[in-house]
Amino acid sequence: MAEPRLSDFAGWRAGWNKPDRRPIYAWAADELTLPASYRIPGKFDVTVRRPLMAVFDAIQDTMVRRVHFRKPPRFGGSMINDIAIPWIICNDPGPLMWNWQKDEAASEHMKEKAWPLWKSSPQFRAMLPQGRHDITTTEIYFGPFFLKVQGANPNNFQGKGIRWQFNEEIWLPVWQTLYNQAVSRTRDFAEIQSEKIVNVSQAGNANDVEDRSYRAGHQAVWCYRAPSNGKHYPLLMGGKRADGSRWGLTWADDAKRADGSYSLARAIETARYEAKETGDVWLDSPATLAEWNRGGAYVAQNDKATREVRSFATNALLNNTFADLITRKIAAMEQAAYGDMSGMKDVKMQDECLPWEETYLTVTINGSASGYKIADYANAEKIDGEKYRTLMADRQQGIGGDSPHRWCEVRAWRGDGSSRQLYYGRESTKEAMRDLQQRYAVPDRCVWQDAAFEKHEVFKECAEYGWIAVFGSDQTSWLHLLPPLPGSQEARKIRLPYSPWQRTTAAGKTVNYLHISEDYMADILANLAAGRGVKYEHPDDALPAYLEQMRGEHKIQKAGRWTWEKIHSTRANHAWDCAKYGVGFALLMKLLALPTKAQEEKPNDAA
């Protein structure tokens, strides 16, 4: 038997080292070197992001059982875990779990950032087990304890008890049903009050898992120090004072044109941050960010929280220029003018770092008179400013002796996204629908028919008449490839709320079809129907069935996710479905605003 070598006992000897009780960030400054995959490579310096210090302190505090950090994207949220985990392994070890939204995201982060960072520490390297079978990309078995880095799924939340648990982006839908399962893994250590749960996330929807976790703590908000009196006030994105004047991030009034659009250049040129309480003003510069970072402090907003739960919040003012924030805000406001609130939702959750609260649960129909009647357009007369004319058909199976039929809406669209309904009614046959199309002079490619029922029959009809087949889907977005930017060879990958065009054959002819995100279209439609956005008109003598069917769905929350559903299984929603397809057409033709950002394919937003 070979004589043992001193190197064989490196991990054993390291385990007997006296724990380093300096603050985590002080230990990291001496021990860790950030690799090139981080925004600022080199020796770790927490003063670049002073709001992180209090989060590290709470993780290290033995009296704190749960830590929550609400932050904007690219702020260094995942870096907190990158730094804290090796400190724990070296100085306060115990079974440890780091949970991401998907296994793939966990594996990629470990390969690109965590492993290169951790291996820069001599103390951490000395702790690593010698056997290769005890180390993988996402698992390390140290003998008496282990580290697992994984995605959030039920199988991963079974088995041994966990003392240290780190959870990423708990605003995501996957966490709304799994969070309690994950937390239950810490119960063994909760009995002796030694467990620690750390949640790092952007804001999500009001009252979701992320929001409840944050509100359970002392809700410490990062505050600026006012030059005029030296006091600290919450650094918030802005609002209106009682006298109607604006505070926070704002710009000159004349940046808004008379037609309601904005001059982005003028807004950026006059951008400033004005303190609500004192009127102190900061301009868009690195010096402003440095001052807010250097002189800022957390101030608790919830004095009823227990000592065991600490929660902290910052926003994008600390890591973005005013120009970038204003660009996103104005794009979102212009998009909202078309009834699409997705941009405003992103601004709320990612820039303001506040939870999004749905403002409508049931459909409200704008009751103001439009000033026209069905007969006014019975002979295919055009509306003012008309650019496109569509016929959207919701195909029905026929129940209780009723024969198969179609509910059809003819609508004329202007270039600004506003529209006017010309007809709504029921047609029994494809020939009747074809006659309706020709009577109102609707082009073939502007006729869309729902293909969820009798798909192959729909394809045959589309092949015969040149119509388009459309499928409503629970999927939220689809990958699209766009041409490369100038000077680049690589195609851009973006996600949009409708699929790329797809093709099949029927009766020997090519049929074009696509899928649309039903919930996305329904959100836009609900705003348009309620009068929030460009004009969405129906005749003063609209068919009563139309108004009833437009109220056939409501938005409800299921497992933390808002979704549209029929109010009752027997309540008709055919007009609502036709209208959703119309919104899809308007988005595709760029009559209504497309999403403010083309989401590039990237698995996570780790700092």
Three-state secondary-structure class, residue 456: helix
Which pLDDT score is estimated for 421? 97
Which amino acid is it at 301? Q
CATH of domain 6-219: 3.40.50.300
Specify the pairing of strand 66-70 against strand 196-201: parallel
pTM of the model: 0.81
Which pLDDT score is estimated for 259? 80
Residue 118 contacts residue 161 (beta carbons within 8 Å): no
Question: In terms of Cα–Cα distance, which of 190, 217, 196 is closest to 98?
Answer: 196
Kindly calculate the radius of gyration of the chain based on its CA atoms and give it in whole angstroms. 29
Strands (E), 251-326: 272-274, 281-282, 297-300, 309-313
Pick 387-588's CATH classification: 3.30.420, 2.60.40, 1.10.238, 1.10.10.
3.30.420
CB neighbourhood size of 375 (10 A): 9
Q: What's phi and psi for 463, nearest 5 deg?
A: -65, -40
Q: What stretches in the chain show pLDDT beneath 50?
A: 1, 4-15, 399-401, 597-607
Is 221 buried (19+), middle (13-18) or exposed (0-12) by CB count in 10 A?
Answer: buried
Which pLDDT score is estimated for 369? 85
Which pLDDT score is estimated for 9? 46
Which pLDDT score is estimated for 401? 47
Q: Which sequence spans correspond to the domains of the chain?
A: 6-219, 221-300+315-351, 387-588
Q: What's phi and psi for 174, nearest 5 deg?
A: -60, -30
Which pLDDT score is estimated for 288? 97
The Cα–Cα gap between 162 and 146 comes to 9
Q: Annotate 209-220 with DSSP letters as a single string.
A: HHHHHHHTS--E
The Cα–Cα gap between 459 and 451 comes to 8
Which pLDDT score is estimated for 118? 95
Token pair in block for residue 40: 């600022």
Per-residue pLDDT tens digits for 514-566: 999 999 999 999 999 999 889 999 999 999 999 999 999 999 877 667 889 99
